[in-house]
């Protein structure tokens, strides 16, 4: 026997089937574990990075003032932290926009560290060097790192008025992103 059926009913039927056959829910402990940011998992490592990041203003003061004369905005003090190596390299913010609660940002590191096609970018407050955000940035064909991330409400409201020519209220810790398929 046929009864009239439309696409909506068909999709809902499929959803019911999927619901009935859903795998077990992940355990809360597992979710809590993998949701924890790296600076909570390795606080000593974070502290070591921020110590070095905090000192950047002194060692990079001149270079940064030089960079500031370029057409881009203030350089952002940046620490690139690999497993076996750490080095400093100011990042030039080329574009920054906060709209609809999302941050879109493009930056350049000079020289570009060749092996790192993507970084996990940790935003650290300029004042107090506290971690505030972590996301991933991909290297584009133009040699720029690009990121696009949803911001917490408070941060979005605060950063919405920031322009690329403003001094950024953050510093970066860049960690090479794990390679994914």
Partner 1 sequence: MNAPMLSPAPTYSRAAPEPSGIRLVDIESQATPAAFPLPASGFRRDSTPSTWPDAWLINAVRRDPPDEDALSALVDRYWKTLFARCRLLEHDRESASDLAQEAWLRVMRARHSLEPDGNFHGYIITVATNLWRDRNRVAQRAGAAAEGSMASLDASTTSDGGETMTLIDVVPDPRTLSIDDQILLEMDLDQGLDRLSPHLRDVLLSRFVSGESAAEIGQRYSRTEQTITGWIREAVREMKAYLTESQSLGTRAEN
Binding residues for partner 1 (CB under 8 A):
1-8, 10-19, 21-23, 25-29, 31-32, 34-35, 37, 99-102, 148, 150-154, 156
Long-range contacts of 124-131 (CB under 8 A, 24+ apart): 124/50, 124/53, 124/170, 124/171, 124/172, 124/173, 125/169, 125/170, 125/171, 126/167, 126/168, 126/169, 126/170, 126/171, 127/169, 129/50, 129/53, 129/54, 129/171, 131/37, 131/39, 131/46
Task: Compute the distance between CA of residue 91 and CA of residue 143 in angstroms, rounded to an integer.
Answer: 12
- Pick between residue 55 and residue 157 the one whose CB is nearest to partner 1: 157
Q: How far is the CB of 12 from partner 1 (least distance, A)?
A: 7
Q: How far is the CB of 87 from partner 1 (least distance, A)?
A: 28
- Pick between residue 8 and residue 84 the one whose CB is nearest to partner 1: 8
Residue 13 CA from chain centroid, whole number: 39
- Pick between residue 34 and residue 114 the one whose CB is nearest to partner 1: 34
Q: How far is the CB of 159 from partner 1 (least distance, A)?
A: 13
Q: How far is the CB of 134 from partner 1 (least distance, A)?
A: 9
- Pick between residue 6 and residue 44 the one whose CB is nearest to partner 1: 6
């Amino acid at each position: 026997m046929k009864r009239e059926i439309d696409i909506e009913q068909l999709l809902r039927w499929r959803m019911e089937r999927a619901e009935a056959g859903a795998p077990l829910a992940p355990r809360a402990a597992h979710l809590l574990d993998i949701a924890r940011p790296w600076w909570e998992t390795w606080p000593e490592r974070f502290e070591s990075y921020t110590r070095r990041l905090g000192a950047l203003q002194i060692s990079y003061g001149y270079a940064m003032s030089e960079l500031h004369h370029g057409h881009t905005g203030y350089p952002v003090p940046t620490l690139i932290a690999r497993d076996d190596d750490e080095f400093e390299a100011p990042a030039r913010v080329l574009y920054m926009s906060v709209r609809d609660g999302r941050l879109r940002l493009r930056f350049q590191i000079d020289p570009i560290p060749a092996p790192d096609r993507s970084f996990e970018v940790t935003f650290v407050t300029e004042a107090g060097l506290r971690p505030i955000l972590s996301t991933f940035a991909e290297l584009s064909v133009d040699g720029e790192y690009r990121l696009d991330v949803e911001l917490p409400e408070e941060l979005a409201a605060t950063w919405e008025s920031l322009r690329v020519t403003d001094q950024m209220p953050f510093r970066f810790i860049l960690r090479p992103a794990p390679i994914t398929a």
